[in-house]
Structure 1
Amino acid sequence: MRNPLLLLLLCAAFLAGCTQEAQNKIGRGIRNWTGDNGVLDVYAADKLVLRLVKVDKLSTAYGTEDSQPRPYRYGYGVVDENFNLQADPGEKKIYFEVSDYSTSYVFYENYKD
């Protein structure tokens, strides 16, 4: 296709025909491919106890046998020990899981990078 306007119109028509959930999945797929610079803040009551930076995404766990969603999210991120929203030398990348039931957390895009 040589006409970018026609391509844009076709894409818009395709997305308009999709359900909101399908549009969300497409958007997440694009973000997963391009990468996000997310931050995960974990709280105990009203106190920030853990901050992870350079988090690409939070994934929902699914059961192996039943393919049903599990009540936790997981991912990888760098432990921001000094809470400066940067991955400093010596800060380690870890795997993490956060529960839907007991963990208070906020996931957002890093505005400093």
Structure 2
Amino acid sequence: MTKNTSRIALILAVGAASLLAACTQEQQNKISRGIQNWTGTNGVMEVYAGEKLVRRFIKVDKVSTALGTDDGKPRAYRYGYGVLDENFNFEVDPGEKKVYFEVSDYSNTVFFESPR
């Protein structure tokens, strides 16, 4: 790397850091979520009835908050797409397909990165 290239890279890095520092925490969170949504994750959504696991969705890219069509306000549920893991083995088996799902804010759910 030449001296000028290094200098330009340093100036760009300082400029980007300054812009990010000027953002509010909410704006920084939106940027982070945007990057994560673009890159995707290998998430798992588990739904519980009491202490019993009743549904597991694997290979979930993201879980989104539903917004009202007219008012744009957040709704009391989340939605996403994932493979319904019918036998709870964290693997996509023959016959298990990608599905759309919705979970209420009032349900017992856990969303986490896949351990595999």
Q: How do residues 76-87 of structure 1 correspond to structure 2 at under 5 angstroms?
A: 76-87=81-92
Q: How do residues 10-49 of structure 1 correspond to structure 2 at under 5 angstroms?
A: 10-49=15-54
CA distance in 1, matches of 2:11, 2:110: 40
Deviation by residue 1:31-81 (Cα, 9 ceiling, x = unmatched): 111111110011000111111001111111111111111110001000112
Secondary structure in structure 1 of the residue aligned to 2:16: helix
Matching residue's letter, 1:72: Y
TM-score by length of 2: 0.88
Is residue 108 from structure 1 mapped to residue 76 from structure 2 by the alignment?
no
Q: Percent identity among equivalent residues?
A: 63
CA distance in 2, matches of 1:73, 1:45: 19
Gaps of 5+ in 2: none
Q: How do residues 65-76 of structure 1 correspond to structure 2 at under 5 angstroms?
A: 65-76=70-81
Q: Name the count of aligned residue pairs.
A: 111
User: What is the alpha-carbon root mean square deviation over aligned residues?
Assistant: 1.5
Instruction: Select the structure that is richer in helix.
Output: 2
Larger radius of gyration: 2
TM-score by length of 1: 0.90
Distance 1:88-1:71 versus aligned 2 partners, 3 A rule: same
Q: Residue 9 of structure 1 corresponds to which residue in structure 2?
A: 14
Secondary structure in structure 2 of the residue aligned to 1:42: strand
Following superposition, the deviation at residue 9 of structure 1 comes to 2.0
Secondary structure in structure 2 of the residue aligned to 1:53: strand
Gaps of 5+ in 1: none
